[in-house]
């Protein structure tokens, strides 16, 4: 503040100061009310799956989507991963809730379905039909897909194993589909990494799953960013 001895500051200096203050206030207001640009906004991913996605037997922050989001952010990627896993879901049930489970604004989908079909011994043709329709409908929405594959138990017979596992390989040939061949890679059949039921992964197992699938998810994120308006 100017001293009494020096007299008042020239009016033009106050005017310039006020103009700058108003400009700064306007920029701050715009930053608060306007959304981030498409290039900078977080990539919105939905993980559509069964109990392996939902995090059966685990705290919410230990489920696959939560840990995947944390791992991606640790790599400096702005990503939001929504948990759309429902325990007990077959591929057909996942299809039945597809429209509301993958809401508007979603930019990519991780599809992890089929494990319950296999455990129930459903005809692979049923699983194939449902997963094919999921891929088709997401493709119509131009959503990049990461398909998490599943393996069939050898007790179901060679013919079943071949027919079931071929579903994922065949769908991976569709445009816009990435394939992670086996969601439980490094975890399946390891008693230390599974809960008492021998089926559902422990929190430590989820860490392994996330670490192994991460490169494919990073590729999925890159596809989203590539198709955003420049």
User: Any idea which residues carry the catalytic annotation?
Assistant: 51, 197, 200
How far is 124 from 50, CA to CA, in rounded Å? 17
């Amino acid at each position: 503040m100017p001293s009494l001895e020096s007299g008042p500051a020239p009016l033009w200096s106050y005017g310039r100061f006020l103009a700058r203050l108003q400009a700064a206030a306007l920029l701050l207001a715009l930053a608060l009310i306007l959304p981030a640009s498409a290039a900078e906004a977080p990539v919105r991913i939905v993980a559509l799956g069964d109990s392996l996605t939902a995090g059966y037997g685990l705290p919410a922050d230990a489920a696959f989507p939560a840990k995947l989001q944390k791992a991606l952010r640790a790599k400096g990627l702005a990503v939001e991963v929504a948990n759309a896993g429902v325990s007990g879901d077959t591929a057909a049930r996942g299809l039945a809730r597809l429209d509301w489970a993958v809401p508007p604004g979603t930019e990519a989908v991780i599809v992890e379905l089929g494990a319950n079909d296999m455990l129930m011994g459903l005809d692979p043709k049923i699983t194939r039909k449902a997963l094919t329709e999921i891929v088709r409908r997401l493709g119509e929405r131009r959503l990049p897909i990461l398909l998490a594959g599943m393996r069939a138990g050898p007790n179901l017979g060679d013919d079943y194993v071949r027919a079931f596992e071929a579903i994922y390989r065949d769908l991976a040939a569709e445009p816009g589909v990435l394939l992670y061949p086996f969601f439980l890679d490094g975890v399946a059949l390891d008693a230390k990494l599974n809960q008492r039921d021998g089926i559902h992964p422990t929190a430590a197992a989820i860490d392994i799953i996330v670490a192994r699938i991460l490169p494919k998810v990073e590729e999925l994120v890159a596809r989203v960013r590539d198709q955003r308006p420049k």
